[in-house]
């Protein structure tokens, strides 16, 4: 565990007594770098103004004004990389749903605490910080990139697409590739979307980001066609792009200019964000995109944000089952149940199925037996620059 006094903790809780109690418990255990806020808006303001994110946030789920779920979404928009501990007086089931939400957003959840909080349990959870993959706790205080810097980066062409292959499970054939944006930062190196896509959404720069990602991806798809590579192109689009009513025309004009057929393009939308937006605007855009023959995919699927009957009403062609239900699926009954439920729902709705996050041979063998259509993951290939993809496909074919 990191030096206790160096861990910067923020408690967000509207309950005065609970706040006092938590502060006292933390102080008694040697955690001295503690700030508090009694509602979500104040906490976000504090985070925005401090320039540095806290290492850990203790978050009460039930707060008037902004509840814990909404607060979590705002943290994602700010690319929060620290740890999260949920605190609640609610029953296990509510905590479980909230934990699922946090996992879906890929935030680092150290655990949950039921009120009244037991001091030893609190200290035990904080003891998990930093998680092993994060090494140095100061890494949590990743830079928050400002709007001006990000806008300039987009303009200067510092955003580049990497591509990760998607293969047909039954044959191993490379079916297509997903564009994944990176920021080639002049001093900080190659940054992943988690470091800046949320910020782009927050600063209103997500349409500019989508424009450069899509333009470059379509140019790449055109090049594949010209060199005889029949690859489907998948691109991630943000909900904030889709609720804009000009987006459908914008993207179809862009594809037409590049000479790419919409049938070759899959637009991926994350499941977790769908229910949190203006559903009417979203449905309108999705329906128009579908009429223009773009393929639509629901990404990071399986957490139950969308009910089956809601899914039925959205014209998706493909379901991408989230990697947390894929890696280690063969040895984990709970994952398997989620995986099977997603697969059978997708089948009922005539959707193609993709398993993401295939990392080892056991995952792959399970998928071969499962009837899932397509797979993507580090076992097959990591995302790579466009220039490496053609070579990778040739070598892969030779190997098979």
Residues that bind Mg ion (CB under 5 A): 236, 268, 299-300, 356
Which two structure tokens, joined as six digits, stand for 372? 């899932």
Give the residue at shortest CB distance from Mg ion. Answer: 268
Separation between Cα atoms, residue 8 and residue 83, nearest integer Å? 10
Q: Does 213 bind ligand C2E (CB under 6 A)?
A: yes
Nearest to 297 by CA among 221, 235, 388: 235
Return the residues of window 159-188 that contact ligand C2E according to CB under 6 A: 164, 180-181
Q: How many CB atoms lie within 10 A of CB 46?
A: 15
Instruction: Give the DSSP letter of residue 106.
Output: T
Q: How far is the CB of 327 from ligand C2E (least distance, A)?
A: 6
Residue 305 per-residue DSSP state: S
Contacting residue, 220, 236, 252, 330, with ligand C2E by CB under 6 A: 236
CB 336 within 8 A of CB 358: no
Among 357, 367, 370, 374, binds ligand C2E (CB under 6 A): 357
Kindly identify the residues of this chain, within the stretch 265-284, that bind ligand C2E according to CB under 6 A.
Answer: 268, 270
Residue 150 binds which of ligand C2E, Mg ion, none (CB < 5-8 A, kind-dependent): none
Q: Does residue 202 bind ligand C2E (CB under 6 A)?
A: no
Nearer to ligand C2E, 236 or 342 (CB): 236
Side-chain-side CA neighbours of 219 within 13 Å: the count stands at: 10
**How many of the other CB atoms lie within 10 Å of CB of 140?**
24
Q: How far apart are CA 379 and CA 86, in angstroms?
A: 34
| Piece of the chain touching ligand C2E by CB under 6 A; list 15-23, 92-100, 309-317, 354-362 | 354-362
Backbone CA torsion sign across 186, 147, 272, 101: positive
Candidates 84-92, 116-124, 150-158, 193-201; binding stretch for ligand C2E (CB under 6 A) = 193-201
Binding region for ligand C2E (CB under 6 A): 164, 180-181, 192-194, 197, 213, 236-238, 268, 270, 299-300, 323, 356-359, 377-378, 383
């Amino acid at each position: 565990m990191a030096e206790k006094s160096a861990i910067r903790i923020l408690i967000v809780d509207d309950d005065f007594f609970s706040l006092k109690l938590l502060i006292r418990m933390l102080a008694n255990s040697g955690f001295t770098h503690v700030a508090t806020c009694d509602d979500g808006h104040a906490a976000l303001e504090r985070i925005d103004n401090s320039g540095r994110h806290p290492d850990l946030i203790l978050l009460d789920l039930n707060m008037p004004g902004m509840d814990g779920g909404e607060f979590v979404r705002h943290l994602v928009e700010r690319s929060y990389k620290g740890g999260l501990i949920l605190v609640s007086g609610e029953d296990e089931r509510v905590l479980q749903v909230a934990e699922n939400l946090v996992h879906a957003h890929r935030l680092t959840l150290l655990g949950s605490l039921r009120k009244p909080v037991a001091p030893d349990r609190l200290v035990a959870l904080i003891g998990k910080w930093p998680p092993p993959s994060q090494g140095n706790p100061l890494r949590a205080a990743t830079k928050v990139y400002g709007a001006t810097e990000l806008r300039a980066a987009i303009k200067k062409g510092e955003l580049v697409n990497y591509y990760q292959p998607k293969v047909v499970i039954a044959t191993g054939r490379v079916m297509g590739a997903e564009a994944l944006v990176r920021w080639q930062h002049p001093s900080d190196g190659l940054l992943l979307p988690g470091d800046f896509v949320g910020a782009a959404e927050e600063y209103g720069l997500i349409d500019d980001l989508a424009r450069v990602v899509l333009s470059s991806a379509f140019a790449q798809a055109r090049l594949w066609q010209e060199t005889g590579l029949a690859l489907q192109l998948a691109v991630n689009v943000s909900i904030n792009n889709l609720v804009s009513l000009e987006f459908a025309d914008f993207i179809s004009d862009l594809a037409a200019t590049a000479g790419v057929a919409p049938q070759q393009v899959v637009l991926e939308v994350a499941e977790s964000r769908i229910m949190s937006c203006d559903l009417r605007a979203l449905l309108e855009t999705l329906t128009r995109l579908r009429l223009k023959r773009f393929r639509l995919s629901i990404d990071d699927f399986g957490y139950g944000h969308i009910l089956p009957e809601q899914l039925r009403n959205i014209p998706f062609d493909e379901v991408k089952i989230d990697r947390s239900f894929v890696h280690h699926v063969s040895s984990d009954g709970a994952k398997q149940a989620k995986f099977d439920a997603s697969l059978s729902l997708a089948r009922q709705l005539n959707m193609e199925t993709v398993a993401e996050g295939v990392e080892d041979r056991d995952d792959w063998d399970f998928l071969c037996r499962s009837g899932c259509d397509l797979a993507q993951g580090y076992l097959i290939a990591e995302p790579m620059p466009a220039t490496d993809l053609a070579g990778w496909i040739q070598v892969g074919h030779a190997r098979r």
